[in-house]
Amino acid sequence: MSEVIQKDTMLSYINGEIQSNANSVAIRAINVRGKDALENTPFPTRKDEDWRFIDLNAIKKNRFTSVSYANAAEVGDISKHYLPEALNTRLVFVNGIYNEELSSISDLPNHVIVGNMSEYGDHDAVKEHLGTITNYDDDAFAPFNDAAFEDAAFIYLPEETSVEAPIHILNLFTDAEKAFYATPRLLFVGEMYSKATIIEEHIGLANNVYLNVPVTEFRLFAGAHVHHARIQRDSKQAAHVSRPIAMIDRNAEYHSYTICLGAKLFRNDPRVIQNAEEVDFTVDGLVLIDGDQIADTHSIMDHRYAHGNSHQLHKVVVNDNAHSIFNGKIFVAKDAQKIDSFQENRNLLLSDDGKVNTKPQLEIFADDVRCSHGATIGHLNDEEVFYLHSRGLTEQKSRELLVYAFALESVESMEVESVEKLLLDEVIKYTTRD
């Protein structure tokens, strides 16, 4: 018996070799590391606790090829996706590759860097922080991004600098003949007392199959304030597996909001690591899914030091055959006293064939803490529907309005007006569809 047993790894679903032609030494080092990890990391199965409920067929039944072989279509006019507040603070990546023509970065304070990482490969912040906090133990997705990325968004804020305009990272995915993969990457380094708002968007321009595996790394030093919105509007045929991670220092504030609207399969594992005392962070999410969409969020709020506030509000609306999964962990390490952490997961199940799994999880090793979570799965309140109905709205309209109100809370926390508007339009589109 000399048969070699074919291991099921990420590579089983990739056509051809993963190649990166990055010039930067720092990036190449990460590429190599990722490649090594990929060969030995098994592809997740339902037997893995973290992948128990999710159906990965959207990935498994395809073979994804690199973009250069996919015959990707042109981008066309994308100006409608520009944010008026961020006209000159915008980076555009098409299928994971930096597009200088569409990007515009002329409106930045001194010494702030917003650009393609391959041009800043020698920057100290890149050398020091790229790929250092991402969690590689879990599965093959972060290593896959590591192995394949060439271009990446790099944002660097020196001490006591604040960027007033929101920084818009626009990831576009075009139509293509073949299913392709893309590995957008974002590294943010905010030095002491810096401040910025980042809008990270993923937009599928057509209704095609692709695999989007982004990794974002946020390193916030003492007193830095960051507002990070992630808006996922991938093609409804696409699979999107995200690995956003943030590590924050004393007095830093990191508020992240993930809005899931698109993709057939969305898996998001946000993680915030408290790296010093006295921090404040948010890991919010809004998921609006229908059809046969699957959205799975596995978040970790990792409290390693004393005195921290954290908050999570994860709202989900499920319609048709859609399936939502939520697993939110709150960790409190030994000696991380005086942590105040609250997690809330609200699910609205609208259809007979929809499905919701939720598992809010507390793992507490310190005694003087206040940690709580609440999770609900429910339907629209009949009395509320009746109330609106009695005020002259049709029943249909009443229901739409109530779903809209349910989603509103998450949308209102967006600090950028045009983003808020855009999301409200999306919510209306979701609630009033036929």
Residues that bind another protein (CB under 8 A): 49, 53, 334-335, 347, 349-379
Minimum distance between the CB of residue 157 and another protein, rounded to whole angstroms? 36
CB 222 within 8 A of CB 194: no
DSSP 23-51: --HHHHHHHHHHHHHHHHSBPP-TTSGGG
Complex with another protein: residue 226 or 356, whichever CB lies closer: 356
DSSP-assigned beta bridge partners for residue 314: 285, 345
Name the one residue in this structure whose structure tokens are 């893995």. Answer: 48
Complex with another protein: residue 134 or 310, whichever CB lies closer: 310
Minimum distance between the CB of residue 359 and another protein, rounded to whole angstroms? 5
From the list 223, 233, 265, 350, the residue with the least C-alpha distance to 61 is 265
Residue 402 in tokens: 């109530």
Question: Chain centroid to CA 92: how far?
Answer: 17
From the list 234, 229, 223, the residue with the least C-alpha distance to 244 is 229
Rounded-to-integer distance, Cα 91 and Cα 351, Å? 39
CB 232 within 8 A of CB 259: yes
Rounded-to-integer distance, Cα 160 and Cα 371, Å? 33
DSSP conformational letter for 84: G
Query: Around Cβ 311, how many Cβ atoms within 10 Å?
Result: 16
Q: Cβ neighbours of residue 212 under 8 Å, at least 6 residues apart?
A: 171, 173, 181, 182, 184, 202, 234, 238, 239, 240, 241, 263
Minimum distance between the CB of residue 285 and another protein, rounded to whole angstroms? 17
Complex with another protein: residue 73 or 364, whichever CB lies closer: 364
Residue 133 in tokens: 């906090």
Minimum distance between the CB of residue 323 and another protein, rounded to whole angstroms? 9
Rounded-to-integer distance, Cα 169 and Cα 202, Å? 9
Minimum distance between the CB of residue 347 and another protein, rounded to whole angstroms? 8
Minimum distance between the CB of residue 354 and another protein, rounded to whole angstroms? 7
Minimum distance between the CB of residue 269 and another protein, rounded to whole angstroms? 18
Complex with another protein: residue 48 or 164, whichever CB lies closer: 48
Complex with another protein: residue 71 or 381, whichever CB lies closer: 381
Strands (E), 319-369: 323-332, 339-349, 355-364
Complex with another protein: residue 145 or 319, whichever CB lies closer: 319
Complex with another protein: residue 30 or 371, whichever CB lies closer: 371
Minimum distance between the CB of residue 350 and another protein, rounded to whole angstroms? 6
Q: Cβ neighbours of residue 122 under 8 Å, at least 6 residues apart?
A: 24, 25, 26
- 327 residue type, one letter: N
Rounded-to-integer distance, Cα 238 and Cα 191, Å? 36
Complex with another protein: residue 159 or 384, whichever CB lies closer: 384
Rounded-to-integer distance, Cα 199 and Cα 22, Å? 25
Complex with another protein: residue 89 or 293, whichever CB lies closer: 293
Minimum distance between the CB of residue 113 and another protein, rounded to whole angstroms? 42
Minimum distance between the CB of residue 49 and another protein, rounded to whole angstroms? 7
Rounded-to-integer distance, Cα 409 and Cα 235, Å? 25
Rounded-to-integer distance, Cα 320 and Cα 293, Å? 9
Complex with another protein: residue 63 or 334, whichever CB lies closer: 334
